[in-house]
Every structure is written in structure tokens, then in C-alpha cells.
Amino acid sequence: MVALTTCLFTVLVGFGHLARAYYTEEYRPQFHFSPEMNWMNDPNGLVYHDGKYHLFYQYNPNGTTWGFMSWGHAVSTDLVHWEHLPIALECESDSNGNVLEMFFSGSAVVDVDNTSGFAVPVHDKKGRGRGKKKRYTKPMIAIYTSNYPTAHTEPGGAVIREGQQSQSIAYSNDDGLTWTQYEGNPVIESPPPGYEDQWNQFRDPYVFWHEQTSKWIMVAFLAMKQKLLIYSSTNLKDWSLESLFGPENARFGQWECPSLFPLHVDGSRSNEKWVLMMAINPGGLVPASGTQYIIGEFDGSTFVPDQADIYDPTQIPSGSIVFQDFESTSSTFEDLGWTATGDFVGLGPRQASTVDVWDIRGYLGTGVFTTYLFGDVAKGTVTSPTFTITKDYISFLIAGGSYPYNPLTAGTPDDNQVSFSLVVDGEIVHSQTGGNSEALVWRSWNVAGYVGQEAQLLITDANTGPLAHIHVDEIIFSDTPKDEANWIDYGPDYYAAVPFNGLPSDDRVAIGWMNNWAYAQNIPTTTWRSAMSIPRKMSLKTINNKLKLVQQPVSTLSSLYTRTLYSRTYKTLQSGQTNVPVPAPYNTRMKLTLEFKRGTVSQVGIILRSNSTNSQETVIGYDFLGQYVFVDRFKSGDNAFVTWQPNPYPGRFVATMPTKTTDVITLNIFLDWSSVEVFDGLGQVAITSQIFPLDDSADVKLYSVGGTASSVSVDVNGIKSAWT
Ligand code: FRU
């Protein structure tokens, strides 16, 4: 046995705060949750109980980078204003300062029926006296991963290896203020038979009460195996393995932070589906961290995904035309009708197995296109023959370093793109770079707006830096997109999202960590690091014959809105930029709703956090030709803090959203000091992105490109601080 102390250097979190200068540091979110100070990552133990939303979170009490992981705690009655509470579960060390246990991600439930036996009698007047039934507390139970950095023996006798991850529980009989760890911890010590070697990659239990079988269900991951483990229990202490699921869909990274929850289909109470939501890192839609979901059925034992939600990477949509599969590895590009420049002259497709990079995978057949020749030094272009666009989608497999096409630097000495692009009329209209990975994944472009036009595909490698290569395979033309996965958010900064327990199915609210492991520990904030997303209400909606998870910011956020600060409707709007005067401080924190119709225009959008020369700007808009919503943060301010190379931070984040010419497009944009979240009117698309602009870049401009937009309206409300 060892004497335990907490890892706290000093006790830093308090209840109160000084009235002045609170939450005013540069970039401090004004209507998002962030800890008073220090590092935060995943939301944990989201539970609604007795009128309060509890938010626990991964927290380092000792600094602004990851470490000494503990559970921070805050509560709210409206999901908008938060009260900080003392740390719930504090990292533990031995007397020599060796960290014995960190509290990794997990969930919380309220054990209303005292299945755990952790309830205690309530000592109040009402409960006492003859003939009165004794009243008991409703214990709050946290189920989390014990991450043990040092080998030791637990109080209950479990012999722990260095680096082990096991599942444990703790309970609170005072609504989450103070916690007792169960003496029988860990409750699940090791992964199941066949996966024993994953003893140090077994984590993130999400537990909920399953009405139909009257059991507790736990889902947890074997992170490196992309395996979901489903357990059941009647008392939260003894767990039996029910089944396993995965890998499916986005599967080239660690699977973390699962959740499984029912939602009504299209609002119908009689039709319920289950959603499996999970974080993947690396291997998100954009490097590195992302969140995907799969819809299916759950019977208390097995998760069966809907076939429509499983994207077998080896199958291409029926009726697809294979434009180029790069199987002719004895041909040159010229033989195939393609044109090469620079180091690619005279070369051709390669046998993937001979491409000398670490772990190239995900290609189809044996041949692949690659710009990796003699290391990353090769530079040049390879261009396809001209073809006529006949189908609505071009899909392809792609991998490599993240060096996006940047229209501002393309063709200049600063050009560093390593990209695969579609050229129509001499212009790049779609472009994709690699995900900082050697695993080829499916990506799709909607080209409906270009049907009938001539086009070429262009591969450009203008760079010799680290990972400065891409692989491309299986270029197909089809009527439907060939995607890798269902993404919950198309931006870079939405991770580890989990829903609240304790709310009904039709009031399912989730919160995500608004950051990305690619650069999370370096973002240029001072006393604290990381914020949570706006809490989002989730539902299932059929859109274009496909069931989709849709999201909207919780309605209570409107309690922070100012009166309308700007409202204007244009019957028609000519190409160009129009100033939208929004008074400070609300030019840096606002809700802006933009509505418009197609007209003859190709793109309509809003420029935020901009200056007079537009040398800084965050651009948000809809592209009618490419049929996508986007957030562009190439010029959003500081990005020099990113140490990971290739730097995945600068970029344009794109979400395909097909529309008809008559549709009214709505974009609801939520701008805070260092972030922007964009939702379309239905909530089918969400894009979350951090930005770190200069203070005086605060102009707002409406713009359109390529014609006349019709029925354009802009409405702005300021958003007051939730912290003052
Ligand atoms: C996800 C994650 C979890 C883990 C936690 C540790 O961001 O890696 O898998 O439990 O963070 O802080």
C-alpha cells in the first residue's frame, strides 16, 4: 500500500473571482466554456440532474499543457452561464511525487434506483420520525479510465502495470461536489480475451441506463484497434462483455471517447434509431482530430449499423465511371494521356508496395499515383487529359502531407501546395491535400455545377518539406459521393463530443472540445488553454433520402443576444464587398445570420475579423458551383504557434451541401473572440474553427462573387459575455 496525495502543486480553482478583469485576457471566449485557468481537453461526465447541467472535463491543475489529468467541474442551469466548482477527481501521486493515477475521460450517471448501493440516508427532518420512510440520496456515479503512469498495487489489491488503462468508478452523494473512489477499483481491469495486449490503450467509458433491458450499458474503446467494446451491468461494479464493434468508416487513427444514444427519426416518437458517436485522432476529415457518427440499432447487447451508414472503402457506387485507377504501372503518364512536368517527366503510376514510405495503405488494386520519389524532394505537376464533366461527383482516394492549395500563394515563390485539384476554365475550383497520413481515404467533390464543361485534374507538388508528397488512387465519376465517413463537424476544432445523460431522447445535447490535438497545446492563449463548443442539440433528420445527424446551438444561447444591431435586405446584390457596420465590442462576438438565393452568383459570404486591406480575414460562405459551405482561415491571424509539420492549421474547410437554384440558403454564424461556428439552417452542416486574429481586425463585410445574388439578408445580434 502507498500513501496517496493529489498531484496538485497549489489549489488554483476557487468559487469566486475578482469582479474586475475576469475573462478579459486576449482571445478569452466570451460565450463558450473555458476553465478559469490551466489546460482543459475532453468534456467528461456530462449529466443533467436536479435542474443542473454538470460539466466535468479533462483538466491539468498544474499548467497550461496536458498532464496530471484530473476532472474539473462546472455547473449550469441554462448551458450558457457556468459556475466553476472545485476539482472533482484529482490526479494522485505517491509520497515521492510519482504520479500513480490520472483520471482520463469518462461519463457520469445518476443512480436513481441505488443499483450500486452507494446511496446514503438523507439526514433531514422530513426523512425522520415514526412511520416515515427513510429517504436516500441519489448518488452520482462517475465511470472513467484510470490511467496509471506508475506500477503499484491498488488499495483493493489490483496489481497495476506502468502505463495501464482500466475502467473505474467513483461516487458522490452531494451532487458531484465531493467524490469517493470505489474500493473495488478498477471495475474492468483488462481488455477481453484476444485483446489482452491492448491493456494500455483501453479507455473512455460512456455509460447510460438502457430502459428496455433495465441495465447499465458501457461503451469503451480499444483505441489502437478501432474496436468498440459493449458491456452491461446491473450495479455499475460488475460488468459483462456483450459484444464488439468496428473498425468501420474512418479507421486510420485512434478511436476515442465513444457514446451511444437513441434519437427519434424525423421527430417521430415511434421511430427511434441509435447513434454511435466517436472521436478519431489522427484521421479526422481535416488533420488531425475529428468526430464521426454511425446510425444503427441497439438492443442492449449489439450495435448493428444501418447498411446505408457503412462506407466500405473497397466498393465504388454503382454506375461509377473509373477515370483512372493507376493500375498500369508499366506505363508512363504520357502513355496514359496525362502530362508531367518537373521531376515527374517520364514517370508513371507505381506499385504501391514499392513506395518507400512508412505504412502506405488504403489504396485499391496494386498501383497508385505518388509524388514520393526519392524522398520528398520531387517537385512538379501531373495533369490529366481534358474530359467533359458528366456526373455530379468526382471521388478519389488520397493521402500525404497537408499542404493545401492556397489561392493567395499559388504560383508565387511562397507556393508550397501538395495538392490534387480540379481545373475548369483555367481556374482551380476544387482542391484536396493530404491528411498528414500515408493512409489513402475517400474524398468527394460535388461538380454538379460544372456538368457539361471541360475539365482537367491537376496534381501539384511544389514542396520538398517534411511529408511533402501525396498519393492518389481510384479517381471515379459518379452520381453519388463516395465518402469515408459521416462527419459531425467539417471543421478542425470539434473533438471528443459527448451528449448529456439524464435528458430525454428528444432533448439530446452534446458538447465537444473546441480544439485539435495537432496544435492544442500551443494555441496562443495565456492563462488557460482550450474552450468547449457551444452546446448543441442533436436530432435525426432525413435530408435528400439520407438519415443525418443534425445539430443546432441550444436555444438558451439567445439569452445572451443583444438587440438586433444590423439588419438589411438586398433584393439583388452585385459582386463585390459591402461593409456591415457592427459596433465594438460586438464586431468580435456576434450571431450573424446570412440568407440568400442563387441568382446568377457563384459565391456569397461574410468576411469577419478583417482589416482595411483584407490582409487579415476569416471568410465564411457558400459556393454554388462547388455546392459547399466553407470557412477559410488562411488569413485568420496567428498560426505560427503550430509546431507540427506540415502545419495543418491554415486552410479552407469545406462541407458539401447540395442545393437547388430556388433554395434559400441560411448560414448561422457564431463568432467569439477566438472561434467561429457555422451551421446551415437545417443544421446538416457544422464547421467549427479556432481563429487568432489581431485585435484591430474587426471589420465585417458582406461579399459576393461572379454575378448577382438575390434576396440577400444580413442580421446581426451581438452576444454578451456569459462571464461578467
Ligand atoms: C481524447 C483523450 C482520451 C483520453 C483523454 C486523456 O482527447 O486522448 O482518449 O481519455 O484524452 O486526457
Q: Provide the pLDDT for residue 9.
A: 72
Q: Could you count the other beta carbons within 10 Å of the beta carbon of residue 335?
A: 11
Q: Provide the pLDDT for residue 358.
A: 85
Q: pTM surpassing 0.95?
A: yes
| Active site annotation includes 42 | yes
Chain-centroid distance of CA 252 in Å reads 15
The three cell numbers of residue 167 are 475502467
CB contact at 8 A, 351 and 369:
no
Distance 66 CA to ligand 1 centre (A): 10
Fold of 321-478: Jelly Rolls (2.60.120)
Distance CA 362, CA 666 (A): 37
Q: Could you count the other beta carbons within 10 Å of the beta carbon of residue 323?
A: 16
Choose which residue among 257, 277, 514 to substitute to test ligand 1 binding: the one with the highest number of ligand atoms within 8 A of its C-beta: 257
Q: Provide the pLDDT for residue 18.
A: 47
The three cell numbers of residue 190 are 483488462
Half-sphere exposure of 359 (CA within 13 A, CB side): 6
Residue ranges of the domains in the chain?
Answer: 4-311+491-536, 321-478, 561-719
CB contact at 8 A, 594 and 609:
no
Q: Whose CA is nearest to atom 9 of ligand 1?
A: 256
Q: Could you identify the atom of ligand 1 that is nearest to the CA of residue 513?
A: 7
- CATH number belonging to domain 561-719: 2.60.120.560
Q: Could you count the other beta carbons within 10 Å of the beta carbon of residue 569?
A: 11
* 321-478 matches 561-719 in fold: yes
What are the residues facing 495 on neighbouring strands? 513
Choose which residue among 99, 105, 515 to substitute to test ligand 1 binding: the one with the highest number of ligand atoms within 8 A of its C-beta: 105
Distance 688 CA to ligand 1 centre (A): 20
Q: Which of 528, 524, 525, 526 is nearest to 36 (CA)?
A: 528
Torsion of CA 342, 347, 351, 352, to 10 degrees: 10
Distance 101 CA to ligand 1 centre (A): 14
Q: Which residues approach ligand 1 with their CB closer than 6 A?
A: 41-42, 58, 69, 104-105, 145, 203-204, 256-257, 496
Choose which residue among 7, 40, 41, 532 to substitute to test ligand 1 binding: the one with the highest number of ligand atoms within 8 A of its C-beta: 41
Q: Could you count the other beta carbons within 10 Å of the beta carbon of residue 163?
A: 13
Query: Domain 4-311+491-536 belongs to what architecture?
Result: 5 Propeller (2.115)
Distance CA 15, CA 17 (A): 7
Distance 27 CA to ligand 1 centre (A): 24
pLDDT tens figures, 135-151: 999 999 999 999 999 99
Low-confidence ranges of the chain (pLDDT < 70): 1-4, 10-20, 124-132
